[in-house]
Amino acid sequence: MGRITEDLIRRNSEHNDCVIFSLEELSLHQQEIERLEHIDKWCRDLKILYLQNNLIGKIENVSKLKKLEYLNLALNNIEKIENLEGCEGLTKLDLTVNFIGELSSVKTLGHNIHLKELFLMGNPCADFDGYRQFVVATLQQLKWLDGKEIERSERIQALQNFPVIEQQIREQEEAYCLKRAKDKEEAQRKLREEDENEAKERSHSVFEGQSPFSVEHKDHVQEGQEGEYNQKRFKDNEDDLEFWNKPSLFTPESRLETLRHMEKQRKDQEKLSGKKKKVKPPRILITEDGKALNVNDPKLDFSLKDDEKRNQIILDLAVYRYMDTSLIDVDVQPTYVRVMVKGKPFQLVLPAEVKPDSSSAKRSQTTGHLVICMPKVDEVITGWRQTSESGTSPSDSSREHTNQRSKRIEKLDVDPSKHSFPDVANIVQEKKPTPRRVRSEAKIIPSEEDPDFEDNPEVPPLI
């Protein structure tokens, strides 16, 4: 059986961007809701509320909905009209096919001065003699009853005969209440018998050392026991057919019994067939060896652009235009980018290493797309002095050439004391900074054998 929860309301309020405090229309039909609760606290601005085809047995917790104009409670288990005095703006009330037998409870709707339409067809009270005249005379603000317009002459006649009609309605209500009390007692007796039978079945199954219809029992059925298994299943089908062919009373208890039977049949079918609820495994984003995977669970269109002019990578992700930004979470890593859209991951491996701290993410004001700009890591290795980006002198190019050559040699894992190299004298390794010492800059001395070598006063002397 269902309950009204915040998550249920949010799932049914996508037209309002899942915001519930300003919600004006809410549909919670066919949710097997048994109790009307929380709505008057969470959705004070409601104007239209659909609650048809549920199991609600009492009208409650709606008196604070001052702006409510239309309330649909058709096909529920309501037996009395009550607790609607606070709905000052109520103009239409639908109580079709409920179990209202106290017709006199419509007098409580006299406080709803704006009520114009009322539906009570399909209720036990609609079969009372004088039902329509009683309602027309009691609720003089009504314009329509059960979809039929109330004429002025009809209201005048109903008011003239009201004392006699009221007495008839009171006698029929008393007879209905006595019958209803017997129906309740019979329903409680049947419920106790069903509980006792279920308890006996459980105790019998425990005595045999196994639960009835268990998955383990089915999995280990031997060939000699298959006939017994099929016989049990056939018997269940017969019981189900007998239940549906048995006549039942038009009461809230019989409706609840039907739903309990359907739920029991569903569970038994799952056990008999050995079906288990499939738990969806968590999405793997990073493999065990640390490799990031490309994932697009939200199924969004995207484009990845390498902007060489600005030395950055741009990801354009087509998120929903009217989606709240609070439902989007961006995580930029050096080798991949991950975006969580309403809890669903979008992950893309980048073609080059980027700077996460310098990256930015913005929503486009025209398309609503998410645009993520990720600057690439600068792989240029600078010498003892920073090279300017605009224009280089021959001496700068000479030093850069020597620096690159020195870098290649430094990477070799070779002991210079055991080997002789013609260019060893040209290699000056950069010293790493040590605590409490002045950091020394790398000094790269070009060789005289280098054809590009020339006297340069900016090169410091060799020490």
- By the 10 Å C-beta count (0-12 exposed, 13-18 middle, 19+ buried), 71 is classed as buried
Which of the following CATH numbers is that of domain 295-375: 3.30.565.10, 2.60.40.790, 1.20.120.530, 2.60.40.10? 2.60.40.790
Q: Token digits for 270?
A: 């799952």
CA-based angle 25:72:148, to the nearest 5?
125
pTM to 2 decimal places: 0.52
pLDDT given for residue 451 in this prediction: 43
Q: Give pLDDT tens digits along the chain (463 positions).
A: 678 998 899 888 878 777 888 899 999 988 889 899 999 999 999 999 999 999 999 999 998 999 999 999 999 999 999 999 999 999 999 999 999 999 999 999 999 999 999 999 999 999 999 999 999 999 999 999 999 999 999 999 999 999 999 999 999 999 999 998 888 888 788 778 877 777 776 666 555 544 444 444 444 444 444 555 565 565 666 666 766 666 666 678 887 877 777 777 777 777 766 655 566 778 888 888 888 899 999 999 999 999 888 999 999 999 988 888 888 999 999 999 999 998 899 999 999 999 999 999 999 888 889 999 999 987 543 343 444 444 444 445 445 544 554 444 444 344 445 444 444 444 344 444 444 444 434 334 444 444 444 444 444 443 4
Q: What per-residue confidence (pLDDT) applies to 143?
A: 95
Contacts of 246 (CB under 8 A, 6+ apart): none
The dihedral built from the CA positions of residue 375, 377, 380 and 382, taken in this order, carries a sign that is positive
Q: Given this model, what pLDDT does residue 215 score?
A: 44
**Delimiting residues of CATH 2.60.40.790 domain(s) in the chain:** 295-375
Predicted local confidence at residue 278, as pLDDT: 61
Count of Cβ atoms closer than 10 Å to residue 155 Cβ: 16
Calpha distance 230→199 (Å, rounded) = 24
Task: Write the pLDDT tens digit of every residue in 165-174.
Answer: 999 999 999 9
Spatial separation of the C-alpha atoms in residues 143 and 95, rounded to whole Å:
16
Give the chain's mean pLDDT. Answer: 77
| Geometric angle at alpha carbon 263, from 260 and 269, rounded to 5° | 140
DSSP calls for 166-232: HHHHHHHHHHHHHHHHHHHHHHHHHHHHHHHHHHHHHHHHHHHTS-TT-HHHHHT--GGGHHHHHHH
Q: For 126-163, what is each residue's pLDDT tens digit? A: 999 999 999 999 999 999 999 999 999 999 999 999 99
Q: Specify the domain boundaries for CATH 3.80.10.10 within the chain.
A: 6-175
Instruction: Please give the pLDDT value at position 264.
Output: 78
Give me the amino acid identity at 95: L
Rounded distance between C-alpha atoms, residue 201 and residue 215, angstroms: 17
Which two tokens mark 22? 């300003």
| Residue carrying the six token digits 């009390």 | 181
Q: Give domain 6-175's CATH superfamily.
A: Ribonuclease Inhibitor (3.80.10.10)
Query: Cα separation of 108 and 84, whole Å?
Result: 8
pLDDT of residue 188: 82
Whole-number pLDDT of residue 20: 86
Decide the pairing of beta strands 370-375 and 360-363.
antiparallel
